[in-house]
Amino acid sequence: MMDDHALPAVNALSLQQADKSIWSAIESERQRQSGSIELIASENFVSRAVLETQGSVLTNKYAEGYSGQRYYGGCINADIVENTAIERAKALFGCSYANVQPHSGSQANQSVFLAFLKPGDKILGLDLRSGGHLSHGSRFNMSGSWFQTVSYSVDPLKNLIDMDEVERIAKKERPKLIIVGGSAYSRALDFARFRVIADDVGAVFMADIAHVAGLIVAGEFPSPIPHAHVTTTTTHKTLRGPRGGMILTNNGEMAKKIDAAVFPGLQGGPLMHVIAAKAVAFHEALQPAFRTYARAVVENAQALCDRLAQGGLSIVSGGTDCHLGVVDLRPWGLTGLIAERALEQVGITVNKNTIPYDEEKPFIASGIRVGSAACTSRGMGADEFKEIGDMILALLGSARGGAVNSRTEVSIREGVVELTKRFPLPY
C-alpha cells in the first residue's frame, strides 16, 4: 500500500507505461528503421551495447571539467569512463591527445575556432555545393557570419578538389585556418599537401573527418593524423558510435587550448552517457571485425555507384573512394526533392543533395546522396547493394515519366521488405 505521506518519488514505470505517445513514436521509428533501406550517408546502426550505454544512469551525472579536475563530487566513475574513451580514441587513431567531450561535430569545429581564431579572422574551407559542410564557413552558419570565409570548389569538369587551386587561393587570401573535409565529397583527400599549403601561409590546418573516421581507423581511407594540426570528427557516422563529436591532435600546446575551448569555453557539463557509449564504440572499432566491416562499406558503396552509373545515372566525380556517392539526376530530368520523396514511398531513405555548381536551391537540389555504412551494418554485401541499385533505377526510371507507376512502386516496396527481413537489426 502507498504511504499517504510519502513524497512522489521518481517514476519507476517503463516508458510504454509512463508516456504512450513518445513510446509509440519510438516504436514506430524502430519499425521504420527495421523495414527500410537506409542509405543516408551520415547514418548508421549502433550495436546493442552502444544503445544500452546511452540509456544508462550516467545520464544523471554532472561532471563539468576534466578527469581528476571536476567541479562536482561523485565523479569517480565518470573519470573511469572518460579516461577509457580517451585512451581508446588515441589507440584507434594513433595520436597523443583526444578530447571526447564535444556534443557534436559542429561543436568540435566551433571549439577549434574558439581555440585558434578571433571573430573576423579568415578561414578557408570546401564550398558547400562542392560537398563541404555548413560549419566550414557557410554564411548561414556561425562559422560564416563570425569569420570571413573563402572557399575552394571542385573543378567543374572532373568534380575533384584541385590542389593547385587550393594553394593559389591560400596564398592570395592567407587564411588563419584551412579546413579539409565535408559531407558530400567522395574522393580521397591529399592531407599531406594541405599541410604543406597551411605551413606555407602560416595557417592552422584542421581536418574534419566526420564522415570517414571509421574508414580511416580501418585503413580504408587516408589518415590526416600525421599531417593535420587538429582533427575533428563525429562519432556516429562510419565510426558507428553514439551521436557526438571529438577532437584529436599530436600537438601538446594546441591540446591545452582545445581543452580550454571545449570546457569552459563552449560547453558546460559533458554528456557522460554519450562519452561512455563513445568508449564502447571505440572498443568495437579496435576489433579486427571492424576492418572487415569498413572494407565492405567501401566495396558496397562502389558496387551501388557502379550499378547506378551502368543504369544511366551520373555519379559526381565518376565514383567513390569511401562510403558515399552523389548522384546527379539532371540527365533524367529529376530533382533531388522528387527523388527523395519517391524513394521514401518505397522505404528507401536518401537525402536530396546539391551537386557541384548546382543551379537548384538546396531544398530542391539536383542530386541525391547515397551511403553504404548503415546497410553494411545489417550484414548486406555487394550483391544486395547491386539489388538496391536496381530498385533505385527502376523507381527513378518510372518517376522520370512524371509519376511513379503504382505497380512498380508496389513491387519495389515488396523487394525492400523482403531484403530488410533477410538482414534484421538486433533491436
Residues taking part in catalysis:
62, 64, 208, 234, 237, 243
Cβ nearer to ligand DSN, comparing 334 with 374? 374
Compute the least distance from the CB of residue 340 to ligand DSN, in Å: 13
Strand partners, 328: 314, 367
Mask of contacts with ligand DSN, 154-193, x by CB under 6 A? -----------------------------x----------
For 34-80, list the strands marked E by DSSP. Answer: 37-38, 65-66, 69-70
Cα 233 to Cα 211: distance, rounded to the nearest angstrom: 8
340, HSE (Cβ side, Cα atoms, 13 Å): 19
Q: How far is the CB of 324 from ligand DSN (least distance, A)?
A: 9
3-state secondary structure of 65: strand
3-state secondary structure 313-372: CEEHHHCCCCCEEEEECHHHCCCHHHHHHHHHHCCEECEEECCCCCCCCCCCCCEEEEEC
The answer to whether the beta carbons of residues 245 and 107 sit under 8 Å apart is: yes
Would you say 133 or 307 has its CB closer to ligand DSN? 133
* Least distance from ligand DSN to the Cβ atom of residue 100, Å: 18
Question: 66 forms bridges with which residues in the sheet?
Answer: 69
- State in angstroms the smallest separation of the CB of 183 from ligand DSN: 3
Between 280 and 326, name the residue whose CB sits nearer to ligand DSN.
Answer: 326
Q: Which is nearer to ligand DSN, 65 or 242 (CB)?
A: 242
Residues in the chain: 427
Number of residues in contact with ligand DSN, rule: CB under 6 A? 3
Angstrom distance (rounded) from CA 387 to CA 416: 10
**Min CB(64)–ligand DSN separation in Å:** 26
Minimum Å gap between C-beta 173 and ligand DSN is 25
User: Nearest approach, Cβ of 125 to ligand DSN (angstroms)?
Assistant: 14
What distances in angstroms separate CA 379 from CA 240, 347, 385, 425, one per listed residue? 14, 18, 11, 9
Q: Which is nearer to ligand DSN, 133 or 378 (CB)?
A: 133
- In DSSP terms, which residues pair with 98 in a beta bridge? 248
Annotate each residue in 231-270 with x if it binds ligand DSN (CB under 6 A) or - if it does not, as one string: ----------------------------------------
Which 133-152 residues touch ligand DSN, going by CB under 6 A?
Answer: 133
How many CA atoms are closer than 13 Å to the CA of 131, on its beta-carbon side?
29
In the window 37-56, what residues touch ligand DSN (CB under 6 A)? Answer: 42
Which cell numbers in the block locate residue 117?
581564431
Q: What is the CA radius of gyration of the chain?
A: 23
CB-wise, 243 or 273, nearer to ligand DSN?
Answer: 243
| CA nearest neighbour of 243 among 126, 106, 90 | 106
Residue numbers of the site for ligand DSN (CB under 6 A)?
Answer: 42, 133, 183
